[in-house]
């Protein structure tokens, strides 16, 4: 795991100092933490994390999982538990990094079940109160003894609700990430003040329909299991399923949520009686999920740019997202962005081959494309109604110096639907990292 | 066009010496050639090619074009001519490289039409007897005067049927290719001896459903236009539409065929009366098209490996091809191959997210994967019926040293359908080339 060592060093990077919070405000009634238990071979990097509901009452939980046919053992086990308990009475998450426990046969299933069993036992939960996640290399069995020995050690001495505990937890789920991803915020619904915290890991193998993503949101708001599931699905569609790093979908992608109600107030449900509070929470969680998902793109393997693709005036949301995704996933577009090359032909090209629903979804003579600088300076038109603009290359090059860039694609169909998608560039560093992952 | 200079130098590469023929056998009744007319800015690289039927009788022609919504002007013009003439009376091809004449508005259409007009005039063809192709940068208008001045010069002094003429023609359609792609062969149908020659250009932006590919096959066999179209479509599906370099589909992809009957014999048609001769020709052309398509993969931008993905025992040909394509297009898989890393988990992962037709198309517990060395030495099993094998990493690393590799995926569905797909690795060089294409 050569990269883990690198990771530790790279934690001191510029990105880490810009995107890792120095403090936070965390939800009531949770204890979290992370330690090194021995999965990662460098002997020091954190590789085991636990999140525990300590509010004393059962929490609600929800989950969204990979669509990959080869679902890793922890994905299969967590889905089963969540389904059997209808999202009630899930009180902890246990996560290891360094090994994905994917394509590991029957031994892998037993190992994932044992992680649940031991966590429940150590935390004095009823049976099957824990969701399990793993991330890392595919196809090797877990060093399960190290993990099962690490769980009681972590639970007894290293869980808490301090900023450092949350950082430790976020660090312990990283693999090729160059910084831990943690966001927290306070918000109000009516007169009630609630808190949200979210952690995730990303880096490579990120694409729509869930990625090598592990993530969790926890809140002290009181939310019913079915409301939490509905909000999570909606938010993930508009955040983690609208980003790409390399277009690959992993066997382990999992985003889970927990709500323990420790901050009190009236239950937020998806019934009409609590429609206002439901909508309010949904807006908060979408915004929050986007913040977290953006961190994944910023830390895409080898990424030097953060690019927002805005598709406007599509016939449908699906078309808008398909087109945005097609551009965001084009290797040619992504390498051009890395090279600061205003090769907008590649954008057009990727719009043109997107697998849209109808012949009228993309009409070349109505399509316009522009660069939108994030500093508020003037837009740069590249194509207007299918006719190329005489592009000021100097200005284009100036805009492309920035780390952040917005590309706006106006399809002019009259349908009025839009979608945003976030991506990074494809760099030499990406090839270096992924050409030598396991060594 | 920095890359053009590089190209000239790189023509002396190892690949060029291995894959460029020293001699050939060429079909009767054609004159071909290439020159530098001034599109490429280095002042010397060939950038204009013509192929002319000089048999004295009208030839049959066929074409397969990009599905991209933003079809380049030459694609629109060539499709129109081919359709209007029902594949009869097409007697020449004119091609420029260095500029794709794509997304160039109404001026671009006029330029493509003018290339046809001038070529027909110079070659003394009836109106609209020429198909036009362009390849290179998108979004700039052609330096049309240079091309229109180059056509008569090329036609009067540089067309012929020597090996060098064919090499010149193949060279003049290259962009980022590191070697010209030319194949020729003689074959027999009954007692008739025919000859096939094929040229193409590839490099970047190569994916299924046509790529930045220009290619043409010409033969001296007598073939009806509808038979030629049917055979071309079938052959392209199993060759140029079964390769990938970076998964991008260009605005300019065009494969055309011409048959002038100069070698005599009975007409090959797609009627039952000539079914045997039709089948025989189709087999020859499929095999031939695969040879040419493989050269495109070998010359993929930055490619160091040539990888065959063989999917067996799928429920349908479509499933087999979808799965093979998913693996072949995975950036993570391709970078692992570049790094000589036997990370077969990434293969599984890409199988698992392929967009197959039914729930029974991929059954993890029936899926097996192995490396098949091309030197005839023993296979290396990676996964058998969904359970990972204990992989001999030393042996895996040995196999991955070879330039060529076959990956065999047995889906075990009982459906018995199979498909092959060809791809290359994703290297540092790819990023370098594409990060700085236009400079």
Nearest 5 degrees, angle CA B338-CA B339-CA B341?
115
Q: What percent of chain B has pLDDT over 90?
A: 62
pLDDT band for position B250 (cuts 50, 70, 90): low
Closest Cα in chain B to A352: B69
Residue A53's DSSP bridge partners are A30
Per-residue DSSP letter, B242: G
**pLDDT tens string B157-178:** 999 999 999 999 999 999 878 8
Instruction: Please state, in angstroms and rounded to a whole number, the distance separating the CA atoms of residues A278 and A227.
Output: 8
User: Which of A335, A358, A361 to mutate: most B Cβ within 10 Å?
Assistant: A335
H-type helices in B208-258, by residue range? 225-237
Over 50: is that where the pLDDT of B243 sits? yes
**For chain B, how big is the Rg over CA atoms in Å?**
22
Q: Which residues of chain A neighbour B411 with C-beta distances below 8 Å?
A: none
Chain B contact present for A210, CB below 8 A:
no
Burial class (CB in 10 A: 0-12, 13-18, 19+), A84: exposed
Q: Is residue A177 within 8 Å of A203, Cβ to Cβ?
A: yes
**pLDDT tens string A172-208:** 999 878 899 999 999 999 999 999 999 999 855 444 3
**pLDDT tens string B383-428:** 899 888 888 888 888 898 888 999 999 999 999 999 999 988 877 7
Q: Is residue A95 within 8 Å of A131, Cβ to Cβ?
A: no
Place of tokens 């690289």: B45
Q: Do B139 and A246 touch (CB under 8 A)?
A: no
* CATH fold of A306-435: Ubiquitin-like (UB roll) (3.10.20)
Q: What are the φ/ψ torsions at residue B427 (nearest 5 degrees)?
A: -120, 170
Nearest of B426, B419, B27 to residue B239 by alpha carbon? B419
Please tell me the distance in Å from A389's CA to the nearest CA on chain B: 9
Instruction: Please state, in angstroms and rounded to a whole number, the distance separating the CA atoms of residues A215 and A295.
Output: 12
pLDDT given for residue B368 in this prediction = 95
Q: Is residue B171 within 8 Å of B200, Cβ to Cβ?
A: no
pLDDT given for residue A8 in this prediction = 40
Closest Cα in chain A to B252: A349
Burial class (CB in 10 A: 0-12, 13-18, 19+), A156: exposed
Question: What is the arrangement of strands in the sheet containing B214-219, beginning at the earlier edge strand?
Answer: B60-65, B254-259, B214-219, B192-201, B181-189
Closest Cα in chain B to A141: B388
**pLDDT tens string A117-150:** 999 999 999 999 999 999 988 888 999 999 999 9
pLDDT band for position B439 (cuts 50, 70, 90): very low
- Total residues found in chain A within this entry: 439
Distances (CA, A) of B329 to A248, B208, B245, B426: 9, 10, 8, 10
Distances (CA, A) of B199 to A251, B30, B32, B55: 42, 14, 11, 20
Over 80: is that where the pLDDT of A303 sits? no
Q: Do B345 and A139 touch (CB under 8 A)?
A: yes
Over 50: is that where the pLDDT of A438 sits? no
Q: Which residues of chain B neighbour A65 with C-beta distances below 8 Å?
A: none
- SS3 of A415, please? coil
- SS3 of A157, please? helix
Burial class (CB in 10 A: 0-12, 13-18, 19+), A401: exposed
**Separate counts of helices (H) and strands (E) for chain B:** 13, 16
**pLDDT tens string A211-259:** 368 999 999 999 999 999 999 999 998 888 888 665 556 678 899 999 9
Q: What are the φ/ψ torsions at residue A321 (nearest 5 degrees)?
A: -70, -40
Query: Predicted ipTM?
Result: 0.70
Question: What is the arrangement of strands in the sheet containing A92-99, beginning at the earlier edge strand?
Answer: A30-35, A48-53, A92-99, A130-137
Residue B212 annotated as lining a ligand binding site: yes
User: Which of A208, A334, A352, A356 to mutate: most B Cβ within 10 Å?
Assistant: A352
Residue B189's DSSP bridge partners are B192
Over 70: is that where the pLDDT of B85 sits? yes
Over 70: is that where the pLDDT of B359 sits? yes
Q: Which positions of A are annotated as active-site residues? A: 212
Over 60: is that where the pLDDT of A387 sits? yes
Q: What is the rounded average pLDDT of the residues A400-419?
A: 93
Instruction: Please state, in angstroms and rounded to a whole number, the distance separating the CA atoms of residues A184 and A268.
Output: 20
* The pairing of beta strand A387-388 with beta strand B417-424: unpaired
- Per the structure block, which two tokens stand in for B244? 């990938």
Residue A301 annotated as lining a ligand binding site: yes
Nearest of B157, B203, B196 to residue B178 by alpha carbon? B203
Residues 53-92 on A with a CB inside 8 Å of B are: 67-71
Chain B contact present for A357, CB below 8 A:
no
Nearest of A331, A226, A121 to residue B206 by alpha carbon? A331
Please tell me the distance in Å from B126's CA to the nearest CA on chain A: 32
Chain A contact present for B386, CB below 8 A:
yes
Of B249, B349, B427, the CB nearest to A70: B349
Average model confidence (pLDDT) for chain A? 88
pLDDT band for position A11 (cuts 50, 70, 90): very low
- SS3 of A49, please? strand
Q: Do B2-298 and B306-435 agree at the fold level? A: no
User: Which of A431, A432, A436 to mutate: most B Cβ within 10 Å?
Assistant: A431
Over 50: is that where the pLDDT of B4 sits? no
Q: Which is catalytic among the residues B171, B178, B195, B212?
A: B212
Place of tokens 């390849």: B135
How far is CA B217 from its chain centroid? 11
Q: Is residue B82 within 8 Å of B49, Cβ to Cβ?
A: no
Q: Do A70 and B104 touch (CB under 8 A)?
A: no
Q: Do A139 and B103 touch (CB under 8 A)?
A: no
Nearest of B7, B307, B23 to residue B183 by alpha carbon? B23
Of B251, B345, B426, the CB nearest to A349: B251
DSSP E strands in B147-283: the ranges are: 181-189, 192-201, 214-219, 243-244, 254-259
User: Which of B319, B329, B330, B345 to mutate: most A Cβ within 10 Å?
Assistant: B345
Per-residue DSSP letter, A382: E
Q: Which residue has the higher pLDDT, A400 or A156?
A: A156
Residues in contact with B262: Cβ distance below 8 Å, sequence separation at least 6, in sequence order: B27, B28, B29, B30, B55, B220
Q: Do A353 and B209 touch (CB under 8 A)?
A: yes
Over 60: is that where the pLDDT of A3 sits? no
pLDDT given for residue B278 in this prediction = 95
Closest Cα in chain A to B355: A68
Q: Which residues of chain A neighbour B432 with C-beta distances below 8 Å?
A: 428
Closest Cα in chain A to B101: A345
The DSSP line for A241-283 is GGEESSS---S--EEEEEE--TT-SS-B-SSGGGHHHHHHHHH
Of A127-136, B84-93, B211-220, minimum mean pLDDT range: B211-220
Instruction: Please state, in angstroms and rounded to a whole number, the distance separating the CA atoms of residues B227 and B269.
Output: 5
Of A360-369, B36-45, B240-249, minimum mean pLDDT range: B240-249
Over 60: is that where the pLDDT of B128 sits? yes
Over 50: is that where the pLDDT of A4 sits? no
Of B251, B339, B430, the CB nearest to A352: B251
Burial class (CB in 10 A: 0-12, 13-18, 19+), A216: buried
- SS3 of B277, please? helix
Domain ranges, ordered by start, for chain B: 2-298, 306-435
Place of tokens 């929490």: A59
The DSSP element (H or E) to which A171 belongs, if any, is helix A163-172
H-type helices in A53-162, by residue range? 73-84, 105-122, 144-157
Q: Do A248 and B436 touch (CB under 8 A)?
A: no
**pLDDT tens string B283-325:** 999 999 999 999 988 887 677 889 999 999 999 999 999 999 9
Task: Output the CA torsion B96→B102→B104→B109 (10° steps).
Answer: 70
Q: Do A432 and B435 touch (CB under 8 A)?
A: no
* CATH fold of B2-298: 3.60.70
Over 90: is that where the pLDDT of A407 sits? yes
pLDDT given for residue A204 in this prediction = 55
Place of tokens 């706006």: A408
Please tell me the distance in Å from A218's CA to the nearest CA on chain B: 29
- SS3 of A168, please? helix
Residues 328-347 on A with a CB inside 8 Å of B are: 329-332, 335-336, 338-339, 341, 343-346
Instruction: Please state, in angstroms and rounded to a whole number, the distance separating the CA atoms of residues A354 and A325.
Output: 8
How far is CA A285 from its chain centroid? 13
Q: Which residues of chain A neighbour B335 with C-beta distances below 8 Å?
A: 430-431, 434-435
Q: Do A434 and B349 touch (CB under 8 A)?
A: no
How far is CA A351 from its chain centroid? 25
How far is CA B365 from its chain centroid? 36
- Per the structure block, which two tokens stand in for A132? 């399990």
- Per the structure block, which two tokens stand in for B176? 């980022």
Q: Do B248 and A388 touch (CB under 8 A)?
A: no
Angle of helix A428-435 versus helix B428-435 axis, rounded to 10: 170
Residue B200's DSSP bridge partners are B181, B215
The DSSP line for B374-401 is TTS---EEEEETTEEP---HHHHHHHHH
Q: Do A336 and B435 touch (CB under 8 A)?
A: yes
Closest Cα in chain A to B385: A105
Please tell me the distance in Å from B1's CA to the nearest CA on chain A: 13
Residues 105-164 on A with a CB inside 8 Å of B are: 105-106, 137-140
Half-sphere exposure of B364 (CA within 13 A, CB side): 22
Q: Do B248 and A387 touch (CB under 8 A)?
A: no
Q: Is residue A223 within 8 Å of A208, Cβ to Cβ?
A: no
Nearest of A151, A205, A154, A153 to residue A177 by alpha carbon? A205
């Amino acid at each position: 795991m050569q990269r883990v060592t690198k990771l530790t060093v790279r934690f001191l990077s510029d990105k880490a100092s810009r995107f890792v919070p120095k403090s936070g405000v965390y939800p009531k009634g949770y204890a979290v933490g992370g330690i090194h238990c021995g999965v990662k071979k460098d002997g020091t990097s954190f590789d085991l994390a636990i999140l525990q509901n300590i509010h004393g009452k059962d929490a609600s939980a929800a989950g969204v999982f990979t669509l990959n046919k080869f679902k890793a053992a922890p994905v299969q086990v967590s889905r089963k538990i969540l389904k059997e308990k209808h999202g009630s009475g899930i009180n902890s998450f246990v996560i290891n990094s360094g090994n994905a426990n994917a394509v590991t046969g029957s031994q892998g299933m037993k190992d994932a079940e044992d992680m649940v069993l031991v966590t429940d036992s150590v935390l004095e939960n009823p049976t099957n109160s824990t969701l399990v996640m793993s991330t890392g290399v595919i196809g090797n069995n877990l060093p399960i003894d190290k993990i099962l020995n690490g769980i009681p050690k972590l639970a007894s001495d290293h869980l808490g609700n301090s900023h450092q505990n949350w950082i430790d937890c976020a660090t312990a789920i990283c693999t090729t990430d160059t910084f831990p991803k943690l966001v927290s915020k306070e918000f109000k619904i009516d007169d009630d003040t609630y808190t949200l915290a979210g952690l995730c890991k990303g880096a490579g193998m990120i694409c729509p329909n869930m990625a090598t993503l592990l993530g969790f949101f926890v809140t002290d708001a009181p939310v019913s299991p079915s409301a939490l599931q509905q909000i999570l699905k909606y938010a993930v569609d508009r955040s983690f399923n609208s980003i790409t790093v390399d277009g690959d979908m992993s066997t382990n992608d999992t985003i889970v949520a927990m709500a323990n109600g420790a901050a009190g107030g009236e239950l937020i449900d998806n019934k009409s009686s609590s429609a206002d509070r439901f909508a309010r929470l949904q807006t908060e969680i979408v915004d929050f999920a986007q913040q977290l998902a953006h961190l994944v793109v910023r830390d895409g393997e080898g990424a030097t740019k953060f690019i927002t693709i805005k598709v406007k005036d599509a016939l449908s949301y699906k078309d808008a997202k398909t087109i945005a995704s097609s551009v965001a996933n084009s290797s040619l577009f992504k390498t051009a962005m890395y090279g600061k090359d205003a090769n907008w032909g590649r954008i057009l090209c990727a719009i043109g081959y997107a697998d849209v629903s109808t012949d009228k979804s993309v009409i070349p003579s109505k399509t316009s494309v522009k660069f939108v600088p994030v500093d508020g300076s003037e837009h740069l038109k590249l194509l207007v109604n299918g006719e190329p603009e005489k592009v000021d290359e100097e200005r284009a090059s100036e805009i492309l110096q920035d780390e952040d860039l917005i590309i706006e694609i106006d399809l002019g169909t009259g349908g009025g639907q839009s979608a945003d998608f976030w991506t990074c560039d494809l760099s030499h560093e990406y090839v270096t990292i992924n050409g030598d992952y396991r060594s």
